[in-house]
Amino acid sequence: MKQTVKWLAAALIALGLNQAVWADDVSDFRETLQAAEQGNAAAQFNLGVMYENGQGVRQDYVQAVQWYRKASEQGDAQAQYNLGLMYYDGRGVRQDDAEAVRWYRRAADQGLSQAQYNLGAMYGNGQGVGQDDAEAVKWYRQAAAQGFAQAQFNLGVMYENGQGVRQDDAEAVRWYRQAAEQGDAEAQTHLAGMYAEGRGVRQDDAEAVKWYRQAAAQGFAQAQYNLGVMYDNGRGVRQDDAQAVQWYRKAAEQGVAEAQFNLGVMYAKGQGVRQDDAQAVQWYRKAAEQGDVQAQVLLGIAYESGRGVRQDDAEAVKWYRRAAEQGYTDAQVLLGIAYESGRGVHQDLALAQEWYGKACDNRDQIGCNNYRRLKLGY
């Protein structure tokens, strides 16, 4: 069974600010247009929002950009931020990361937290500006200090990985917690992982389960998978195969390969669900097609044995090869056996020895024994 995993994310916010005046009919549009044409920056911003969203007027990104620019040039931070988004997305203007950075910076310098976060992400990703983790941390910190949850999460990631700042698990936990308490599912999942591993905080499986559950309840796939692992292993909660299956399934249906693999194992063993080799194969295949080496091997074994699928040695070899080429030693041994026996592939002792040798290089004892045996010619 696969265990809990964590991941990192540093996506940009893609939504514009719409909070000034929302016009919802033509008369409001006309009034806003009149004020905008008289040079009122707030009206110019609102007019940009109306054109961007097709509110009271036909949607027109070019016009939205025009009015955001007018307001931006008067120093309106929200307009500067939205103009940056238009450049980033290439809506109403040619896509240009450098221009996006320029406008994010002007808004960020005025203290707009969304712009500070996006500017940090641009530095972190090296988009429109030279990649610079220290600058990313600087801007994430400014947004995080204003309570911006995604910036708090990303700042936690930077501390956990030691990117742009000295590695510090306790600081990572502090920032994950602040974002998690605001309901950020990614932060909740990372905080849970820190509790599960005892990094930056005293190890506590019950706390890990608590935070995984909060994120899982929001539909966050990785947390659903990790919660399944906790039920599967009885960590922080009473062991419960049926609950493990329930959470694996939720994550698997969202495409998490580890969950798909584990769900396949549960079907194969009849744990928490009625034993069903065909269902096991179905879930192994989904994970295998995403490159999961363990799923590729078990799918190969299913084809070789004819369990849950029609027996097919050539298909078995195909899946062994995919895993073997990723360096998975079990698959390298199985592929060597296939070449030695000529099952599903033309017999080729030289290739069998080669694959056994690769497994031996990975310290697999069976691979080493078979390699030496073939080398000695028996």
pLDDT at 5 over 90: no
The verdict on 139 and 167 lying in the same domain is no
Total domains present in the chain: 2
**How long a stretch of residues is the chain?**
378
Residue 27 confidence (pLDDT): 72
The verdict on 139 and 214 lying in the same domain is no
Per-residue confidence at 21, pLDDT binned at 50, 70, 90? very low
204 is a domain residue: yes
Q: What is the CATH number of the domain that holds 208?
A: 1.25.40.10
Report yes or no: 137 and 115 within 8 Å, Cβ to Cβ: no
The verdict on 179 and 211 lying in the same domain is yes
Mean pLDDT of 21-37: 75
The predicted-structure confidence for 255-279, as pLDDT tens digits, reads as follows 999 999 999 999 999 999 999 999 9
The verdict on 197 and 138 lying in the same domain is no
Residue type, 158: M
pLDDT at 17 over 90: no
290 is a domain residue: no
Residue 22 confidence (pLDDT): 47
**Prediction pTM value:** 0.89
Give the range of the structural domain holding residue 133, as residue numbers without chain letter: 25-146
CA dihedral sign, ordered 365, 367, 370, 374: negative
Structure tokens at 94: 């040619």
The verdict on 142 and 74 lying in the same domain is yes
Residue 377 confidence (pLDDT): 84
The verdict on 42 and 90 lying in the same domain is yes
The verdict on 35 and 140 lying in the same domain is yes
Mean pLDDT of 147-173: 98
Residue 20 confidence (pLDDT): 45
The predicted-structure confidence for 278-331, as pLDDT tens digits, reads as follows 999 999 999 999 999 999 999 999 999 999 999 999 999 999 999 999 999 999
Distance CA 276, CA 298 (A): 14
The verdict on 102 and 32 lying in the same domain is yes
121 is a domain residue: yes
Distance CA 244, CA 228 (A): 4
Residue 4 confidence (pLDDT): 46
State the residue for tokens 């995403």: 290
